[in-house]
């Protein structure tokens, strides 16, 4: 993979004129339209917007899960558009942790084995992977639940396991798509406190899609997606 530049280390992701199109039957949907976006290392950014506006599409592109139809993307100085699928998968595994609304934990595995999974994919032996997973569970306050299966945990605890799994590879970036959407208010606040503490203490860059405007206020930046375009809703944004 070609390394474009190394003199802008503070920029984790740079998107230029990015667009994404989907086809539905004979209809073509412009999910993202000419998007320019820069994400700095160690920053926090909330993504808000109506349902169907393009939030998940943006997150999937930031997460290297989808390649856009046009435009340019640099991720940690790498040229994403010209990278192979294997290179993207490797970059994703090393640099990005994902947290989803539905937790996406494997029901048959214990908390610690769920958290260990990304390390196993990386080729780490099982014993070391479990040790790493245990220390992540400790970080999210769940070391006493390591052997529980997801069904035996509360919603908030399940999401904390998912966060531990996202963290186990020491990623530069956490991408969370409505991680508090299935949680009650108290658990949502708890999960949010945890994510923001991880950002402050470990400098993990945090991008989160949320419908909750009060939660969004806690982020340094707020970006609204509207019909595939980005609007800066941060306090410092020009009116």
Contact residues for ligand ADP (CB under 6 A)?
22, 24, 29, 31, 49, 51-57, 225
Question: In DSSP terms, which residues pair with 35 in a beta bridge?
Answer: 18
Nearest to 147 by CA among 108, 112, 119, 117: 112
Least separation in angstroms between CB 26 and ligand ADP: 13
Please classify residue 1 by burial: count the beta carbons closer than 10 Å to its beta carbon, then call 0-12 exposed, 13-18 middle and 19+ buried.
middle
In terms of CB distance, is 53 or 199 closer to Mg ion? Answer: 53
Indicate the residue among 30 and 120 with the shorter CB distance to ligand ADP: 30
Q: Which two tokens stand for residue 152?
A: 């035996």
Residue number with the shortest CB distance to Mg ion? 56
Q: Is 180 in the site for Mg ion (CB under 5 A)?
A: no
DSSP 8-state code for residue 233: -
In whole angstroms, the minimum distance from the beta carbon of 57 to ligand ADP comes to 3
Q: Of 20, 56, 110, 159, which one interacts with Mg ion (CB under 5 A)?
A: 56
Rounded CA-CA distance 72/97 in Å is 22
Report the residue number, 15 or 161, with the smaller CB distance to ligand ADP: 15
Residues 45 and 204: their CA atoms lie apart, in Å, by 12
Q: Do the beta carbons of residue 65 and residue 51 sit within 8 Å?
A: no
Rg (CA), the chain: 18
The item of ligand ADP, Mg ion, none sharing an interface with residue 84, based on CB under 5 to 8 Å by kind, is none
**Minimal distance in Å, beta carbon 218 to ligand ADP?**
20
CB nearer ligand ADP, residue 139 or residue 222: 222
Q: Which residues bind Mg ion (CB under 5 A)?
A: 55-56
């Amino acid at each position: 993979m070609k390394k474009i530049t190394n003199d802008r280390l503070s920029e984790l992701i740079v998107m230029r004129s990015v667009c994404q199109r989907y086809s539905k039957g004979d209809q073509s949907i412009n999910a993202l339209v000419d998007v320019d976006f820069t994400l700095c290392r160690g920053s926090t950014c909330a993504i808000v917007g109506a349902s169907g506006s393009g939030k998940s599409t943006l997150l999937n592109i930031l997460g290297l899960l989808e390649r856009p139809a046009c435009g340019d993307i640099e991720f940690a100085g790498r040229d994403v558009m010209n990278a192979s699928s294997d290179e993207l998968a490797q970059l994703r595994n090393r640099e990005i942790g994902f947290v989803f609304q539905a937790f996406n934990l494997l029901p048959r595995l214990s908390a610690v084995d769920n958290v260990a999974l990304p390390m196993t994919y990386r080729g780490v032996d099982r014993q070391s992977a479990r040790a790493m997973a245990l220390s992540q569970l400790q970080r999210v306050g769940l070391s006493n639940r390591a052997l529980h299966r997801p069904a035996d945990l509360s919603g908030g605890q399940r999401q904390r396991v998912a966060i531990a799994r996202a963290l186990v590879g020491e990623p530069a970036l956490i991408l969370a798509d409505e991680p508090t959407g299935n949680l009650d208010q108290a658990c949502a606040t708890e999960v949010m406190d945890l994510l923001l503490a991880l950002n402050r203490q470990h400098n993990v860059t945090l991008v989160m899609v949320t419908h909750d405007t009060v939660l969004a206020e806690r982020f340094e930046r707020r970006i609204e997606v509207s019909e595939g375009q980005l609007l800066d809703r941060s306090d410092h944004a020009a009116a």
